[in-house]
Amino acid sequence: MNKIIPFILIFFLNACKENPEEPVKEIQPSKNWTFTLGDITIIPNKLDVPIYPWFPDGHIAIVNDPNADAGYRYIMFWSEFKNYRSVGPTPFPEDQLLLDPKTPVFGERGDWQGYNNGGSWLNSVFRQSETQLIGFYHAEDHWYPRNKDYIAWKSTGVATSNDNGRSWTDHGQVITSSTPKPASPKWGGSGDCCVIWHENDNRWICYYQNQNIRMAISDDPDANPGSWFKFYNGGFPEMALGGKSTPLAGLSDVPGSNPSVHFNTFLKLWIMVYHGWSPACLYIASSVDGYNWSKPQQLVCGSQGGRAWYPTIIGESDVSAGEKARLYYADFSADGGSRDFIVREIRFVRND
């Protein structure tokens, strides 16, 4: 995990616009820094990942394996209601070489009563020791008989692996909504998570959505259920299991979901990308401390007349990047029936 250098100056973003039919070449988000975006490239399904047609479907989790052969040093989790594990020589999805194993490693659907009967999405994974990983997942509780729209009540959970992610032990929910699951199908709950380890504060921070972006923290290195507290009215007084929460003030003007957060070692800032509800485009925001966020600005819209959703920026990993990195997201067709797995180079430029 990267050491985080505190800065006292907050960099705010200014408005940016783009023509969604053409690749963005340069955006001016701040007088202090800018960035450029490269052309659109579609990542093919060269590994024959079974859930590829629905990917990405949330934050993409990457973890380093320093003891592996050079060709297999990075582990990626293809997250859907069930999750696959692959390995490759770099942290970038297009460089993954092998599904290992070929069967799902975590998550399932079933006609049972439970918070994860609609599946479990491994959205953030970290190494704790040579072979032990900790993972944070988005869980869905569906109504039965399930309707064709797969309406979900969401929550966030934690799991661990003792074999480098080939199998997992589920430790249960860590964040749930203050509103119980209703009797009739309705989108809601507290999920679509991205987790970081804040090294300066020695704690986990989970960014999740409950109609808009919210936050919870845990000072427990093992992130056990019951150790998490939600952000509420400027502090963290509420238990994350069922407690009250408030949106993050800097982001509340643009409600959205599926945040992806990394520390940018070049800008010395936390950078968040996420998708909005309306318009269904990608947004970007920055933070000095990981708690207080600038007003988000529009980043990318869909190129096919549909949504641009589920972004992740990957550099050294999915939680650390520098001057050059890559932006991944789902580019939906106009009717929402299909999506392309997109990668674009992103390069940050400092003006100081």
- In the chain, the amino acid numbered 4 is I
Q: Is the pLDDT of residue 349 over 90?
A: no
DSSP code string of 26-70: -B---SSEEEEE---EEPP-TT--TTGGG---SPPEEEE-TTS-G
pLDDT recorded at residue 9: 30
Q: Which residues pair with 232 in a beta bridge?
A: 235
Mean pLDDT for 35-42 is: 94
Q: Is the pLDDT of residue 94 over 60?
A: yes
Phi-psi sector, 200: left (phi>0), alpha (psi -120 to 50), beta: alpha
Mean pLDDT for 81-102 is: 98
Q: Is the pLDDT of residue 345 over 50?
A: yes
Lowest-confidence range among 48-62, 118-132, 141-155, 289-303?
141-155
Phi-psi sector, 95: left (phi>0), alpha (psi -120 to 50), beta: alpha
User: What is the pLDDT confidence band of residue 31, given thresholds at 50, 70 and 90?
Assistant: low
User: What is the pLDDT confidence band of residue 30, given thresholds at 50, 70 and 90?
Assistant: low
Mean pLDDT for 297-301 is: 92
pLDDT recorded at residue 302: 96
Q: Is the pLDDT of residue 332 over 60?
A: yes
pLDDT in tens, 174-202: 999 999 999 999 999 999 999 999 999 99
pLDDT in tens, 117-138: 999 999 999 999 999 999 999 9
Give the contacts of 193 (CB within 8 A, at least 6 positions apart).
59, 123, 124, 136, 137, 138, 156, 175, 206, 207, 208
> What percent of the chain shows pLDDT beyond 90?
84
pTM: predicted TM-score of the whole model, two decimal places: 0.90
Q: Is the pLDDT of residue 149 over 80?
A: no
Count of other CB atoms within 10 angstroms of residue 7: 12
pLDDT in tens, 56-76: 999 999 999 999 999 999 999
- Domains of the chain by range and CATH? 33-350 (2.115.10.20)
